[in-house]
Amino acid sequence: MKIPMPDMDFAQKVIESYAEDGVGGELAYDPESQQWAVILNDAEYQEYQEKVKKNHASVLELIRMLKQRWHGVNIQSGTIEPPLKNMKRLVLYLMDVDCETGKTFKVTNSFKDILDRKTKTMVWGSTCSMCGRRVAVVLDWEDASPTKKVP
């Protein structure tokens, strides 16, 4: 699979990102069109896509279950079991619960920057492919400590 890229640096980052998920890729340049590209291993990319679809279907099933149990205004939930050893890709899903659609964002080093306190705020956003509603998630460091009064 050949994917056009805007420049060499971006193409190299795409190759590194896919390599983390087990998909090999090569950097390519067409001097006639002055276009950079990434050429991914077709078989590995297909296997990757199948896993992504399976994972996405699993998360949609979770959303359907939560939709039935969501009786209050807010919800926060989690599993009690840790991830399996082969589960190495951390993702953030933005889901439209009513339409049962979602967008997957792979957690990259920029996400780690907020956990390491190098970045104050991160935002992820997506437009629902069914209804057009926009969904956003904001992760932000805040000061909620009480203000000290001077005697």
- How confident is the model over 105-149, as pLDDT tens digits? 888 877 888 888 999 999 999 998 889 999 899 989 998 888 877
What pTM was estimated for this model as a whole?
Answer: 0.75
Rounded distance between C-alpha atoms, residue 29 and residue 150, angstroms:
65
Total domains in the fold of the chain: 2
Question: Do 28 and 95 fall into the same domain?
Answer: no
What percent of the chain stands above pLDDT 70?
A: 99
Q: Are 3 and 13 in contact (CB under 8 A)?
A: no
Query: What confidence score (pLDDT) does residue 150 get?
Result: 66
- Does 27 have pLDDT greater than 90? yes
Of 57, 81, 105, which residue constitutes the final position of a domain? 81
Domain of residue 28: give its range. Answer: 1-81
Exposure pattern of 19-40 as b/e (b: 16+ CB <10 Å)? eeeebebeeeeeeeeeebbbeb
Cβ neighbour number for residue 55 with a 10 Å cutoff: 15
Query: What confidence score (pLDDT) does residue 151 get?
Result: 66
